[in-house]
Structure 1
Amino acid sequence: MKLPEQWKRAYFTFLVWLKNFRKDFRNRFQSVEVELYDLNKVVEPYIHGFNFLLVLLAIASLIAAEGFQLEEPYKTWNNYLELIIISGFVLSFFLRVLLTSKRIQLIRNRFFEALLIISLLLIGLSYLIGGESFVIYVESLFGVNNIWPVLILATKIYLILLIIERGIRAAPIILSLKRKPTQVVAGSFLSVIAFGTILLMTPSATVDGLGLNFIDALFTSTSAVCVTGLIVVDTATHLTLYGQIVVLILIQIGGLGLLTIATLFALFVSSGLGVGQMNLLKGSIGETRTSETFQTIRRIVVITLLIEAVGALGYYLSWPDLFDDNSKRLFFSIFHAVSAFCNAGFSVFTNSLADQVNALNYGINITTMILIVTGGLGFTTLWELLKGNPHHRLRNWQFSIHTKLVLYATGFLITVGTLAVLVLEWNGVLAGYQTSDKIMLSLFQSITTRTAGFNTLDIGSLGVSTTLVFLTLMIIGASPASTAGGLKTTTVSVLLLSVWSTIIGKKDVEFAKKKISKDTVFTAMTVFVLAAVCLFFFTFLLTITEDQPFIDILFEQFSAFATVGLSRGITGELTDAGKSIIIVSMFIGRVGIVTLALAFAKRRTASKYQYPSESVIVA
């Protein structure tokens, strides 16, 4: 269809007029834009301070609303506080839009924030126009119910995450003040543990409405963030749904790492991070190249969520008749999927997975074992298994020496552990089970002992020989860049290869036709020695503070330091001093003994001279 000639002329005339109008408008208000830019530079610090105040109010309101059962007039006061937070949040956003000269770019970079603002304004205007009935009508148009409380909660969480994102951006400045990346990593874990402790002390966290006392709240928070699984109160019966959700969130943050989650949020709500921020973060995720940091973080989060989703589906299908309520069945499935993949060992069953309905359930056993193994392999190994080693042309066949060591060590430990439990406990705790069940139970204990913490057998009933096998598996642990703890499979593998090279007279440590650098060997030795010193020191302290059998104390300490979570039944009977020792052990084991040593040790610059060498008789 052809348009009349006069219409075409009118259309092009309109385009020329619009172009000239925009040009005149821009020239006329250019001076205003300059004044707004200058004003923005003056007002910006005050806006940041105002946002920080909103964050503090959001944290206080969130704890009050979720952690306490508020009654009048406190509930009304909290509603007013929420209204102040929402109003301040909207005002801050529009001030930034008004004062910046790059409005479209700001809205694009803060798309989620803009969407949240629009939703809040829509519901607020609906209430002003027609009251609560009109709000219900608007919600029905979009097919949602009670969206206002959800938007308020989303705003509070967004503000809290936003301040974390600001902290990530400020990290290079913090490091320029003579701080180290390792201190930032340790500090991130401490901050999450502290916040989790506060939430677990609130009355809504426990069934009795009193909240956990400080030492128990600190212990539970540390155990969750450090993905250990040792408990001083029963998660299933002592904590409410709110308390269980707090533990679940702490486990997820502890498994992925606060820096990883905060970085992903920073990249989601803003234009990106600079080289300084990426250089800080690469060490915390096991990446060696700064340019690949963002891609690695995205892979970690995507792989984690996908595996946990598949694991939750596996649990859900394995409990067809156990729950009457599907929502409870779904929550149990998600909780155990996150706990298993993060190698945390927390369970919302009183006896973990040791009761008959779970211990011999093949679906539960297989799902749990797959999640534990994938979580313990490490994200670097998982990515190579999915895509191959990008440094080689034959991607699907040529793996790095790291991945080969991880796979060989994991397979060997699982096999040896299974055979050891099967043989040593054939007529012990396994007596009375069928042969197929004995094999499955032995395989499960072998896998879970390496830092996962779930159990389908009574750990306290195991023989001394089996307990010694468990101690060995626990201290070895899983692999680097994973959600698990322990010395790590590669550390022990490198040490054994070094010993073998010394025995056969080789100068270099070799594996798979590759030479392992001396720096790697020295690091492995450092980890082993420091871990041995810590284990001895903390075990010695526990023998002073606790009146328990030595084998139980030793098992508890190994379990805490290796972030395993298995216990011979003495965790709840520990004194406050003993709990404090275990808390420190769990923190050191999760953050890493070398990481903490580097965080506080004073590094010496490389010397430009060498002393003369001399032999020392050591063997």
Structure 2
Amino acid sequence: MKLPKHWKRAYINFLVEFKKFRKEFKNRFQDVEVELYDINKVVEPYVHGFNLFLVVLAIASLVASEGFELHEPYNRWNNYLDLIIILGFSLSYFFRLFLTSKRIQLVRRRIFETLLIISLAIIGVSYLIGGQSFVEYVESLFGVKEAWPILILATKIYLILLLVERGIRAAPIILSLKRKPTQVVAGSFLSVIAVGALLLMTPSATVDGQGLDFIDALFTSTSAVCVTGLIVVDTATHLTMYGQIIVMVLIQIGGLGLLTIATLFALFVSSGLGVGQMTLLKGAVGETRTSETFQTIKRIVGITLFIEACGALGYYLSWHDLFNDNGTRLFFSVFHAVSAFCNAGFSVFTNSLADEVNALNYGINITTMILIITGGLGFTTLWELLKGNPHHRLRNWKFSIHTRLVLWATGILISLGTVSFLALEWNGVLAGYQTSDKILMSLFQSITTRTAGFNTVDIGSLGISTTLIFLTLMIIGASPASTAGGIKTTTISVLLLSVWSTITGKKDVEFAKKKIAKDTVFTAMTVFVLAAVCLFFFTFLLTITEDQPFIDLIFEQFSAFATVGLSRGITGELTTAGKSIIIVSMFIGRVGIVTLALAFAKRRTATKYQYPSESVIVA
């Protein structure tokens, strides 16, 4: 359809006049924008201080409302506190919007905050217009119930995440004070453990309304953050849903790492991070190039959420006959998906997956095994597998030597573990099951033993021979850059290849027609030796503090250090000293023995001379 010429002429004239008006308007208010810029620089520290004050109020309100059962007048005071937080949050947003000269960029950069402000404004205006009844009418239009409490909770969580993001930005300043990146990584785990322990001590976290005592709260928080799965209280019956959600969040943070989550959040609420922050995060996510750090973090989080969502769907479909309430069924599905992918081993069933409902449920078993394997392969290997082949020809797939070692070691360990368990327990815990069920249960135990912690049989009933096989699988663990623990599959692979090279008289350690760097071999030896020393030392301490069979104590120690979570039933009977030893073991196992050694060891500067060499008889 063609427009008349005079309409076109009028339209063009309108555009010309509008552009002239906009240019004149910008020129007229240019001085005002400059003044606003200068004012913004002056008041920016005060705005940050005000936001920090709001964060403190948000934390206090969140802990009070969720962790305690508030009665009048405390509940009314907490509602007033929520109102202050909302008004302060809105005031801070509009104040920054008024002072900046790049308003559109600010809105786009802080899109979540903008949507949150708009939603709060809609509910607030609706209440002023027609009261609570009109608010309910507006909520029905958008298909949302109780929008105001949800928005308040979202605002508090957003403010707390902003504080974490500020901490990431301050990391280079901390490092400039002679700190090391490894210390920052260890400190991030310690801070999350401390916060988790405090939350689990609140009355709302437990069914009895008393909260966990300090040592049990610290043990549970450490076990969750270090994705171990050892428990001193039954997660299913002793913790409320609020307490279980705390555990699930701690597992997710522990699996991904606080620095990874905070960095991803920073990408959505600000213009990004600087070179200092990226340099810090490069080592935390296992990236060698600083420029690729953001992309690596996005891949890690994206892969994690996608696999966990698929796992939750698998659990949800497999439990169609178990739950009458879809909400409970969904929560159980999400909890176990997060726990399985992060190799945590926490379950909201009293007997983990060993009860009749789950032990022989093929859907549950297959879903759990897939989640454990994918979580244990490592994000580096997963991404290399997912990238695929650009030519869609299998013979052109060229995996790195790291990925080849991971895949070979994983396949061999799963196969040997399955065959060993099947042979050793055929007439033991597997007696009475059909052959197909025996194979399924053997495969499950072989996979879960390498740091996952779920079980479909009674671990305490296993024979000594099977227990020794489990100890070996547990200490090897999964692969680097994964959510799992252990000394890692690549470490044991490099050590065995080194032994083979020595036996066959080769000067270099080789695999797949590639030479493995000597630094890698030395690092593998360091990991193995330090792990052996820690295991001996902590097991020795447990034999002093605990009155339990030695096989149970060494199993408990291996499980804690390798962040597995399996137990022969003595975790709840440990003394306070024993729990403290296990807590330290879990932390060292999750952060990494070499990471901690680098964090606190004094590095010597390289020398420009070499000592003469001399042989030593070692064999």
The equivalent residue for 2:148 is: 148
SS of match in other structure, 2:244: helix
The equivalent residue for 2:89 is: 89
User: Distance between the aligned counterparts of 1:444 and 1:306, measured in 2?
Assistant: 23
Asked whether the equivalents of residues 182 and 596 of structure 1 are also in contact (C-alpha less than 8 Å), the reply is: yes
Could you list the per-position Cα deviations for residues 358-390 of structure 1 after superposition, in whole angstroms to 9, with x for gaps in the alignment? 111111111111111111111111111111489
The equivalent residue for 2:404 is: 404
Alpha-carbon shift at residue 6 of structure 1 (Å):
4.6
The equivalent residue for 2:21 is: 21
SS of match in other structure, 1:515: strand
Could you list the per-position Cα deviations for residues 194-241 of structure 1 after superposition, in whole angstroms to 9, with x for gaps in the alignment? 111111111111000011001101100100010000000000000011
Gap change, CA 1:178 and 1:394, over 3 Å in 2: farther
User: Distance between the aligned counterparts of 2:52 and 2:272, measured in 1?
Assistant: 21
Alpha-carbon shift at residue 27 of structure 1 (Å):
2.1
Gap change, CA 1:7 and 1:429, over 3 Å in 2: closer
SS of match in other structure, 2:287: coil
Asked whether the equivalents of residues 55 and 163 of structure 1 are also in contact (C-alpha less than 8 Å), the reply is: yes
The equivalent residue for 2:533 is: 533
Asked whether the equivalents of residues 389 and 400 of structure 1 are also in contact (C-alpha less than 8 Å), the reply is: no
The equivalent residue for 1:597 is: 597
The equivalent residue for 2:606 is: 606
User: Distance between the aligned counterparts of 2:553 and 2:6, measured in 1?
Assistant: 94
Q: Structure 1 residues 138-147 or 225-234, which shifts more? A: 138-147
Matches within 5 A, 1:325-364: 325-364=325-364
The equivalent residue for 2:301 is: 301
Alpha-carbon shift at residue 155 of structure 1 (Å):
0.4
User: Distance between the aligned counterparts of 1:535 and 1:102, measured in 2?
Assistant: 57
The equivalent residue for 1:315 is: 315
Are 1:518 and 2:490 matched, yes or no?
no
Alpha-carbon shift at residue 13 of structure 1 (Å):
3.4
Asked whether the equivalents of residues 389 and 395 of structure 1 are also in contact (C-alpha less than 8 Å), the reply is: no
Matches within 5 A, 1:55-204: 55-204=55-204
Alpha-carbon shift at residue 529 of structure 1 (Å):
0.9
Alpha-carbon shift at residue 31 of structure 1 (Å):
1.8
Are 1:379 and 2:368 matched, yes or no?
no
User: Distance between the aligned counterparts of 2:9 and 2:287, measured in 1?
Assistant: 60
SS of match in other structure, 2:450: coil
Paired amino acid for 1:174:
I
Alpha-carbon shift at residue 22 of structure 1 (Å):
2.0
Q: Structure 1 residues 283-292 or 271-280, which shifts more? A: 271-280
Asked whether the equivalents of residues 388 and 395 of structure 1 are also in contact (C-alpha less than 8 Å), the reply is: no
User: Distance between the aligned counterparts of 2:126 and 2:395, measured in 1?
Assistant: 57
Alpha-carbon shift at residue 331 of structure 1 (Å):
1.1
Asked whether the equivalents of residues 388 and 396 of structure 1 are also in contact (C-alpha less than 8 Å), the reply is: no
The equivalent residue for 1:287 is: 287
User: Distance between the aligned counterparts of 1:360 and 1:107, measured in 2?
Assistant: 52
Q: Structure 1 residues 209-218 or 325-334, which shifts more? A: 325-334
User: Distance between the aligned counterparts of 1:388 and 1:7, measured in 2?
Assistant: 55
Could you list the per-position Cα deviations for residues 308-361 of structure 1 after superposition, in whole angstroms to 9, with x for gaps in the alignment? 111111111212211121211111111111111110000011011111111111
Q: Structure 1 residues 289-298 or 250-259, which shifts more? A: 289-298
User: Distance between the aligned counterparts of 1:74 and 1:396, measured in 2?
Assistant: 67
Alpha-carbon shift at residue 396 of structure 1 (Å):
5.6
Alpha-carbon shift at residue 10 of structure 1 (Å):
3.8
User: Distance between the aligned counterparts of 1:295 and 1:260, measured in 2?
Assistant: 11
Paired amino acid for 1:190:
L
SS of match in other structure, 2:337: helix
The equivalent residue for 1:573 is: 573
Are 1:268 and 2:274 matched, yes or no?
no
Gap change, CA 1:266 and 1:71, over 3 Å in 2: same
The equivalent residue for 2:245 is: 245
Are 1:471 and 2:471 matched, yes or no?
yes
Alpha-carbon shift at residue 425 of structure 1 (Å):
1.2
Could you list the per-position Cα deviations for residues 476-526 of structure 1 after superposition, in whole angstroms to 9, with x for gaps in the alignment? 000001110000000000011111111111110000100000000011011
Could you list the per-position Cα deviations for residues 544-590 of structure 1 after superposition, in whole angstroms to 9, with x for gaps in the alignment? 11111111110000000000000000000001111011001000000
* Long gaps (5+) in structure 1: none
User: Distance between the aligned counterparts of 1:414 and 1:6, measured in 2?
Assistant: 79
User: Distance between the aligned counterparts of 1:387 and 1:522, measured in 2?
Assistant: 31
Alpha-carbon shift at residue 5 of structure 1 (Å):
4.8
Gap change, CA 1:540 and 1:68, over 3 Å in 2: same
Relative to the length of structure 1, the TM-score reads 0.98
User: Distance between the aligned counterparts of 1:248 and 1:99, measured in 2?
Assistant: 40
User: Distance between the aligned counterparts of 1:383 and 1:406, measured in 2?
Assistant: 13
User: Distance between the aligned counterparts of 2:102 and 2:597, measured in 1?
Assistant: 45
User: Distance between the aligned counterparts of 1:393 and 1:516, measured in 2?
Assistant: 28
The equivalent residue for 1:48 is: 48
Asked whether the equivalents of residues 387 and 395 of structure 1 are also in contact (C-alpha less than 8 Å), the reply is: no
Alpha-carbon shift at residue 280 of structure 1 (Å):
1.3
Alpha-carbon shift at residue 540 of structure 1 (Å):
0.9
User: Distance between the aligned counterparts of 1:507 and 1:4, measured in 2?
Assistant: 87
Q: Structure 1 residues 508-517 or 113-122, which shifts more? A: 113-122
Paired amino acid for 2:345:
G
SS of match in other structure, 1:231: coil
Q: Structure 1 residues 320-329 or 588-597, which shifts more? A: 320-329
Relative to the length of structure 2, the TM-score reads 0.98
Could you list the per-position Cα deviations for residues 156-179 of structure 1 after superposition, in whole angstroms to 9, with x for gaps in the alignment? 011111111111122222212211
User: Distance between the aligned counterparts of 2:396 and 2:277, measured in 1?
Assistant: 32
Asked whether the equivalents of residues 474 and 562 of structure 1 are also in contact (C-alpha less than 8 Å), the reply is: yes
Q: CA RMSD in A?
A: 1.6
Paired amino acid for 1:46:
Y
Q: Structure 1 residues 558-567 or 163-172, which shifts more? A: 163-172
Alpha-carbon shift at residue 3 of structure 1 (Å):
4.5
Q: Structure 1 residues 270-279 or 208-217, which shifts more? A: 270-279
SS of match in other structure, 2:138: helix
Q: Structure 1 residues 345-354 or 134-143, which shifts more? A: 134-143
User: Distance between the aligned counterparts of 1:306 and 1:98, measured in 2?
Assistant: 39
SS of match in other structure, 2:585: helix
Alpha-carbon shift at residue 2 of structure 1 (Å):
4.9
User: Distance between the aligned counterparts of 1:326 and 1:16, measured in 2?
Assistant: 59
Alpha-carbon shift at residue 131 of structure 1 (Å):
1.0
User: Distance between the aligned counterparts of 2:444 and 2:5, measured in 1?
Assistant: 81
* Matched length: 619
SS of match in other structure, 2:510: strand
Matches within 5 A, 1:457-496: 457-496=457-496
Gap change, CA 1:278 and 1:400, over 3 Å in 2: same
User: Distance between the aligned counterparts of 2:5 and 2:512, measured in 1?
Assistant: 78
Gap change, CA 1:514 and 1:137, over 3 Å in 2: same
Paired amino acid for 1:413:
L
Alpha-carbon shift at residue 439 of structure 1 (Å):
1.2
User: Distance between the aligned counterparts of 1:13 and 1:355, measured in 2?
Assistant: 78
User: Distance between the aligned counterparts of 2:317 and 2:134, measured in 1?
Assistant: 41
Are 1:367 and 2:367 matched, yes or no?
yes
* Long gaps (5+) in structure 2: none
User: Distance between the aligned counterparts of 2:428 and 2:97, measured in 1?
Assistant: 71
User: Distance between the aligned counterparts of 1:471 and 1:618, measured in 2?
Assistant: 28
Could you list the per-position Cα deviations for residues 128-155 of structure 1 after superposition, in whole angstroms to 9, with x for gaps in the alignment? 1111111111112222111000100000
User: Distance between the aligned counterparts of 2:140 and 2:320, measured in 1?
Assistant: 33
SS of match in other structure, 2:537: helix
